Structure 1
Amino acid sequence: MTSTALSIQNLTIAIGRPLVHGISLDLERGRVQGLAGESGSGKTLTSLAVLGLLPRKAQTSGSIRLGDEELLGMPRRALNRVRGNRIAMVFQDPSSSLHPQLTVGKQLTDHMRVHLGLKGKAAAARAVELLERVQVPRAAESLGRYPHQFSGGQRQRIAIACALACDPEVLLADEPTTALDVTVQAGILQLLRDLAVERELAVLLVTHDLGVMSAIADDVAVMKDGRIVERADRATLFADPQHEYTRTLLAALPGSRLASQNEGGTVGEDSVGEDTDD
């Protein structure tokens, strides 16, 4: 039985003009909720609103609840205790989300020091465990290396490890595989799927690519012009889309993408340690 980790209700966002129009979405533990739509549909704004990362001039209303806590309008200091701790985010480009002048070990252990109070050997040991879990080769050795010394696929695995450092309840993944080639992309998607199940993470997967959704999402919501126009479990939505916009998105998928859909939702693994997307 699933339970709601994060509940978005009647969320509106305006930045000069209305951009998101009263959407509602529940994220369940152990499940991947897909949020799909073209650029400008409002899907990324929705994910940024969860962490309070919208521009200062943004006006919002509605509710974003993490358990019993209301996040929308939460003071910044209180929100800082939530970010990276109870809710974490993986961005599209790991080259920009990882600091180029800090070692991987430093970036991983900083999260633990701030939120968990872990230092020294305890933090380093946990960092190694995290890198091993996301299948970064030679994990202990990797702590002393810098992001540019890894391939794109490995950098995204490191970014996921950073996001998991404090055992969050919710993981937001905003176009996490767009910058990767297809083979490496498949391994990252499988990793996110596995982590959702084994850690009972509530995952929000934001992407324009319904082919990605077909691989790992349990449920899919489709956004257009700031509104959710259709939502269903993955199998139902792909087999019998009801909204014309959803049908248009599906029709744009290459045949090979549609063929990748399968009942179990598994995708092929990338060659760990041999990413060649750089």
Structure 2
Amino acid sequence: MSSIVLSIRDLQISIGRPLVHGISLDLERGRVQGLAGESGSGKTLTSLAVLGLLPRKATTSGSILLGDDELLGMPRRALNRVRGKRIAMVFQDPSASLHPQLTVGKQLTDHMRVHLGLRDKVADARAIELLETVQVPRAAESLGRYPHQFSGGQRQRIAIACALACDPNVLLADEPTTALDVTVQAGILQLLRDLAVERDLAVLLVTHDLGVMSAIADDVAVMKDGRIVERADRATLFAAPQDEYTRTLLAALPGSRLETDADAGSEAAPTAAEADAVAEGAGDE
């Protein structure tokens, strides 16, 4: 049985002009696929295309297969049954993704009522279990509280719990730590890593920060100007990047000794272990 859960093939996106130029990616069970690049590279558009959340004027071609189901061009009603149940997304800012006037318990159990048909005590019990899974303190008490009563890191954990409510196969995480203090980023990243392994989730991690990427991604694809310019497993990419753009991104990491071809001297590129250590340290500062 194939471990590939989601397969993107020759995806092209235009919004007035071409923005994503025929990219292909596979998401596998229990693995974190990183998609890295600067703002405007097309990485977020790619993740939004998976859930059919692109602007109305966007045009797409190619294929996005979830199992045997084609998501590109899927009718909205059918797509609504996929969102949240089979694929879920964690957005950059939990303050924006969580409804400020609904309790945490209401937001968690609404997903279960719609997609799983759960009611009352059963849904509440599952909500408490999810909050415990993402390590929100005093989970039972938290059901009756509102998002503004939690810290930024706790709100993002709650957003992750909402994404997990219906036990999806695929989790899309779009810059999930950018809006958080650096002191809490590591905990969120470790949580995503643990969830991928423990729940056999296929995770797409979208970020501009290769320091974040090095902490949890199994494989990394680097995007520039709407194209994937390099892809490799994490250790290979950090030890021996092949594309000049990738080398530039790595050289920008605080404390990195990696140099681009333009300014390379006699100093050797770091080993995989050294690159990981540098990047992980950058995320923990």
* Aligned equivalent of 2:81: 81
* Aligned equivalent of 1:273: none
From the superposition, tell whether residues 182 and 128 of structure 1 become closer, same or farther in structure 2 (CA, over 3 Å): same
Unaligned runs of 5+ residues in structure 1 are 271-278
* Aligned equivalent of 1:249: 249
Shift of 1:183: 1.9
Q: 2:238 touches 2:275 (CA, 8 Å); kept in 1?
A: no
TM-score for the superposition, normalised by structure 2: 0.91
* Aligned equivalent of 2:176: 176
Aligned 1:192-203 pairs, distance under 5 A: 192-203=192-203
Shift of 1:182: 1.6
TM-score for the superposition, normalised by structure 1: 0.93
Aligned 1:199-210 pairs, distance under 5 A: 199-210=199-210
Q: 1:20 touches 1:42 (CA, 8 Å); kept in 2?
A: yes
Q: Structure 2: how far apart are the matches of 1:108 and 1:136?
A: 13
Q: 1:215 touches 1:260 (CA, 8 Å); kept in 2?
A: no
Shift of 1:261: 1.8
Q: Structure 1: how far apart are the matches of 2:33 and 2:64?
A: 16
Ranges of 4+ aligned residues in structure 1 off by more than 4 Å: 256-260
Shift of 1:266: 8.5
- SS of aligned partner of 1:255: coil
Shift of 1:255: 1.3
* Aligned equivalent of 1:156: 156
Q: 1:216 touches 1:266 (CA, 8 Å); kept in 2?
A: no
Q: 1:221 touches 1:228 (CA, 8 Å); kept in 2?
A: yes
* Aligned equivalent of 1:190: 190
Q: Structure 1: how far apart are the matches of 2:251 and 2:277?
A: 17
Shift of 1:262: 4.7
| Partner deviation per Cα, 1:222-252 (whole Å, 9 max, x = no partner) | 0000000000000000000000000000000
Q: Structure 1: how far apart are the matches of 2:5 and 2:212?
A: 23
Percent of aligned positions with the same letter in both sequences? 88
From the superposition, tell whether residues 43 and 220 of structure 1 become closer, same or farther in structure 2 (CA, over 3 Å): same
Unaligned runs of 5+ residues in structure 2 are 258-269
* Aligned equivalent of 2:12: 12
| Partner deviation per Cα, 1:141-181 (whole Å, 9 max, x = no partner) | 00000000000000000000000000000000000000111
Q: Structure 1: how far apart are the matches of 2:194 and 2:2?
A: 16
* Aligned equivalent of 1:131: 131
Whether 2:239 is the aligned partner of 1:239: answer: yes
Q: Structure 2: how far apart are the matches of 1:142 and 1:211?
A: 32
- SS of aligned partner of 1:168: coil
Shift of 1:260: 7.6
Q: 1:35 touches 1:206 (CA, 8 Å); kept in 2?
A: yes
Q: Structure 1: how far apart are the matches of 2:276 and 2:158?
A: 27
Q: 1:36 touches 1:43 (CA, 8 Å); kept in 2?
A: yes
- SS of aligned partner of 2:276: coil
Q: Structure 2: how far apart are the matches of 1:37 and 1:198?
A: 28
| Partner deviation per Cα, 1:20-45 (whole Å, 9 max, x = no partner) | 00000000000000000000000000
Count of aligned positions = 269
* Aligned equivalent of 1:275: none
Matched AA of 2:57: K
Aligned 1:61-140 pairs, distance under 5 A: 61-140=61-140
- SS of aligned partner of 2:206: strand
Q: Structure 2: how far apart are the matches of 1:195 and 1:223?
A: 25
* Aligned equivalent of 1:276: none
